[in-house]
Amino acid sequence: MKSKIYILIGPPGAGKGTQAKNIANTKDFVLISTGDLLRENVEKKTELGQIAKSYMDKGEFVPIDLVAKIIKANIQQNLGKNGFLFDGFPRDLSQNVLLDGMLKEFDLEVDKVIYIDVKDEAILERLTNRRVCPKCKKVYHMKFNKPKNDELCDDCGVPLITRDDDKPEVIKNRLATYHKSTHPLVEHFEKLGKVIRINGERTPKEVENEIISHI
Ligand code: AMP
């Protein structure tokens, strides 16, 4: 049986990362999160990570040849699995052409695009309050999902951090890039009848239940 291919699209801070992990677990899909894969490379100070960091810190796209390398390796390693869920890729129409080419090589195609819709105002509020555990990557919100103990991770006990790209100037840049480059993908897939639009301004559990009900 062919692997199913799903893509998660939404502005930065829409909750894609959290949803992607839960959906991949529930549905036994291979999760390909380009942001996480790049951050892993940054942490390990690989050659790729060192180049990627300078772009990520400014909220700019990492050069596509670097991103394509890690994606292709991940697809190849997991061929034959139940399904793939992409988070953070494709990020613009040209990356989608690249994805199409990769999928064709493996005789696969995109099944559905899950679009998590959240307005800019809500995004700014969410991202400026976002903290993450550097160890287990658990995400907190300093108003609505606070850690029990000051700024320490509930599970690991280590101090939480603000992602370098969650600084207000960088958030504005990432949002502008989203509207200019990434959102046109939603219109592209809408024409193909492949978009499932989800209202992302609800609790994570409500959003998750709705997504699961569609796939
Ligand atoms: P994310 O965790 O998806 O918000 O991604 C964090 C950062 O990683 C982005 O702001 C980009 O700098 C970089 N990045 C993630 N995915 C891609 C991609 N598909 N193409 C280029 N850069 C990416």
CA proximity to 43, closest of 141, 151, 163: 163
**What's this model's pTM, rounded to 2 decimal places?**
0.87
pLDDT, residue 145, reads: 86
CATH 3.40.50.300 fits 4-119+180-214, yes or no: yes
Q: Parallel, antiparallel, or unpaired for β 30-33 and 83-87?
A: parallel
Q: In ligand 1, which atom is closest to the CA atom of 56?
A: 12
Average pLDDT, the chain: 93
Centre a 10 Å sphere on the Cβ of residue 199 and count the other Cβ atoms it contains: 11
**The pLDDT value given to residue 151:** 87
Segments of the chain with pLDDT less than 50: none
Pocket residue to mutate for ligand 1, from 61, 64, 71, 99, most atoms within 8 A of Cβ: 61
pLDDT at residue 144, as a whole number: 81
Domain boundaries in the chain? 4-119+180-214
Is 203 exposed, middle or buried, given 0-12, 13-18 or 19+ CB atoms closer than 10 A? exposed
What would the pLDDT profile of 176-214 be if each residue is shown by its tens digit? Answer: 999 999 999 999 999 999 999 999 999 889 999 999 999
